[in-house]
Chain A
């Protein structure tokens, strides 16, 4: 394991009942590295990144995030979650709170930030995702793309070192995908450590430092985007790429 690894998964195994969803997964992510994870549905990619902030519990192996090992220790879990932001496929905004309140809630209650400061922070984050004018609306009044950008702003407001994206554009209409990807590209250019589960291969080519291809709970191939798209090693990867790029 290299010194600068910020996330390290070693021989991680997980089962849902009898279904072996993660099989000996090993992954090292360096600081500021952008990883794009792809693979067919049911391959365990979402489960893998959800293990990184303990939304799912792994049963064997070790996961270390920023020097903290994820075990049953609740304190460690809280500390890891403070380091790691997450964006979901279904946005998961809090529908009973306005956009601004969605963003300020965690800074105020988890980080004990004064309200005025948190609101200023929220407005800055909304500027970054380019929708400051929506601050006082409720999530239900926004389009999917806007909601997902609010979700990104909400995560960023906790000032995480690592961002996890779980298929952030899969629930969006085609014309909204770009506005979300643009925000993610900005974020990547700003030096954020990112693990992105996505099928947006254009995005992957632009920002990824490394591609990870998963199938049936295993990491089948890890390569630079250049090598991954032009000269993949495994036949499974070739088949997947031919299907996904064919569209």
Chain B
């Protein structure tokens, strides 16, 4: 009986690094074979990619020590046997990649907006941030500040949006699209489930129409058709037209994602809220939506990442986002043929943002799990 009370440790071979290796990598002979094959592939690939991207790559100077100003000076073009990537193109065109054709004198405004964006995101990312309430106030007014800062007005010189480009346009489209589409999507989802037939029909029609049309069509629609609907004399900015199209597109998808979450809420939740005397809006805001949105976090982030990448389609209506600047650079005779470097860089920037979003969604899921169905699973 006494031994039973002693804490028995699990067998050594199943814990620690050796245990982990044994269970996950060398469990049986097929497993071991696959592990060895993967290790061989990594052994072939990792040194090659490290060599190309870093060790043999040019950053600012080529192997002769000259500062690179065009593609002919890249080591890999001077000596095809030895050179790696020629990152000088990114270095030389960095300003355009980040700001487009924003006037250099005014570029501090964009930088300030970037820093403010980081501060505006802080309270959303960290729930435990000290003075979070005040940070949140800032988050709410940030779009207004950013508008005047970037566009001009209130004493700032106006910078027309056709001078914007690169990461600036990508972030403006992505952030605004996601931020606006979320509340609109919620309203559409509630509307589609409404008991009032007119509202439900209108929302359904809107969602189905927008969802049934490719984003490119909507972008053309925004560029060509939207001005026709406006009263004469009012000219809508090109970027705004694209933003309207992107937001409408995203809100239709968001609506369907949130509707999925709403459908997962048991009817008892509605009944309990009603029996406590809550109105329709209170019930939805306090009881139903918090639960529905929690359930929908993975698909919400999924469609948001999708939108962030889809903003690259604006290139077809003549707006130069990050990818657009990249393609523009490639068309420049000075940098002809450096497509590996440029696409690699553009992919890396997109990956950093989308990977950040995906990590954030995992963090949210983990954080919010404490409340829901604990003990039941």
Contact = CB atoms under 8 A, between A and B. Distances in A.
Are A and B genuine complex partners? yes
Interface of A: 53-55, 78, 81-82, 84-86, 88, 90, 92-98, 105-106, 109-110, 138, 140-142, 151, 154-155, 158
A140 B282 contact: no
A158 B374 CA distance: 27
B372 A95 contact: yes
Nearest to A96: B371
B370 interface: yes
Interface string B262-289: 0000101101111111110010001100
Contacts of B372: 95-96, 138, 140
Nearest to B377: A140
Contact of A92 (B271, B290, B371, B376): B271
Given A81-B274, A106-B276, A158-B277, A138 B287 contact: no
A92 B371 CA distance: 15
Contacts of A78: 277, 279
A223 to B, nearest CB: 29
A109 B282 contact: yes
A95 B373 contact: yes
Contacts of B282: 109-110
Given A78-B277, A109-B286, A110-B278, A141 B374 contact: yes
A97 B276 contact: no
Interface string B244-278: 00000000000000000000001011011111111
24 contacts: A55-B271, A55-B275, A81-B275, A81-B276, A82-B277, A84-B275, A88-B268, A90-B268, A92-B272, A93-B272, A94-B269, A95-B291, A95-B372, A96-B372, A105-B276, A105-B287, A110-B277, A110-B282, A140-B376, A141-B374, A142-B375, A154-B276, A155-B275, A158-B277
Contacts of A140: 371-376
Interface string B15-49: 00000000000000000000000000000000000
Interface of B: 266, 268-269, 271-279, 282, 286-287, 290-291, 294, 368, 370-376
Given A81-B274, A106-B276, A140-B372, 9 more contacts: A78-B277, A84-B275, A86-B271, A95-B373, A105-B286, A105-B287, A109-B278, A110-B277, A138-B372
Contacts of B274: 53-55, 81
A138 B271 contact: no
Nearest to B370: A138
| The 5 residue pairs across chains A and B that have the minimum distance between CB atoms | A92-B272, A92-B268, A140-B374, A106-B276, A86-B275
Contacts of A88: 268, 271-272
B271 A110 contact: no
Most interface-central of A82, A90, A95, A142 (chain B CB within 10 A): A95
Contacts of A96: 290-291, 294, 368, 371-372
A82 B371 CA distance: 28
Nearest to B268: A92
Contacts of A84: 275
A171 B266 CA distance: 16
A79 to B, nearest CB: 9
Nearest to A77: B274
A193 B266 CA distance: 29
A97 B368 CA distance: 11
Contacts of B277: 78, 81-82, 106, 110, 158
A158 B274 CA distance: 13
B259 to A, nearest CB: 19
A51 B278 CA distance: 17
Contacts of B266: 90, 92
A37 to B, nearest CB: 17
B272 A110 contact: no
Most interface-central of A84, A109, A142, A155 (chain B CB within 10 A): A109
Contacts of B371: 95-98, 138, 140
Most interface-central of A93, A105, A142 (chain B CB within 10 A): A105
A145 to B, nearest CB: 14
Contacts of B286: 105, 109
A209 B276 CA distance: 26
Most interface-central of B272, B290, B368, B374 (chain A CB within 10 A): B272
Contacts of B273: 94
A106 B290 CA distance: 16
A208 B37 CA distance: 76
Contacts of A110: 276-278, 282
A85 B287 contact: no
A90 B269 CA distance: 10
A154 B276 CA distance: 9
B278 A92 contact: no
B288 to A, nearest CB: 10
